[in-house]
Amino acid sequence: DVKVTQSSRYLVKRTGEKVFLECVQDMDHENMFWYRQDPGLGLRLIYFSYDVKMKEKGDIPEGYSVSREKKERFSLILESASTNQTSMYLCASSSGSAGDTQYFGPGTRLTVL
């Protein structure tokens, strides 16, 4: 079974803090993705990566950065957290083409006060 894990299920941070969300997959998948999910807005792609040290902007990259130093790990960074970044953050991975099946981690519910 594909396993995607995320570092925290719930996280509370203060405005202006630097926040790290980590995602690890154990299936040697090439592709990894970060989404945020908000009521009424659905899943929105923040960043994705097709290979180590490679990153591409998704639909809403502003205010975020990513790091992929190892194939199995993809980190999302909020340089200076703001209240409008309160959301559910979901990591996913896939093999082969970016259009292949994506497997999701359990999600991190981030609240920025």
Partner 1 sequence: QKEVEQNSGPLSVPEGAIASLNCTYSDRVSQSFFWYRQYSGKSPELIMSIYSNGDKEDGRFTAQLNKASQYVSLLIRDSQPSDSATYLCAVNIPAAGNKLTFGGGTRVLVKP
How does 1-14 read in b/e, with b if 16+ C-beta sit within 10 Å? Answer: eeebebebeebebe
Residues 97/33, Cβ–Cβ less than 8 Å: no
Q: Which stretch binds partner 1 (CB under 8 A): 22-30, 61-69, 78-86, 92-100?
A: 92-100
Query: Please, what sign has the CA dihedral across residues 28, 25, 98, 79?
Result: negative
Is residue 10 part of the contact set for partner 1 (CB under 8 A)? no
Site string for partner 1, 32-71 (x = CB under 8 A): --------xxxx-x--x-------x---------------
Quick one: 15 or 40, whose CB is closer to partner 1? 40
- Burial (Cβ within 10 Å: 0-12, 13-18, ≥19) of residue 79: exposed
CB of 13 or CB of 109, closer to partner 1: 109
Q: Does 100 sit near partner 1 (CB under 8 A)? A: yes
Closest by alpha carbon to 80, among 21, 16, 20, 19?
Answer: 16
Residues 84 and 100: beta-carbon distance below 8 Å: no
- Using CB under 8 A, pick the residue from 65, 80, 83, 101 that binds partner 1: 101
Residue 7 near partner 1 by CB under 8 A: no
Contacts with partner 1 by CB under 8 A lie at: 40-43, 45, 48, 56, 90, 94, 97-107, 109
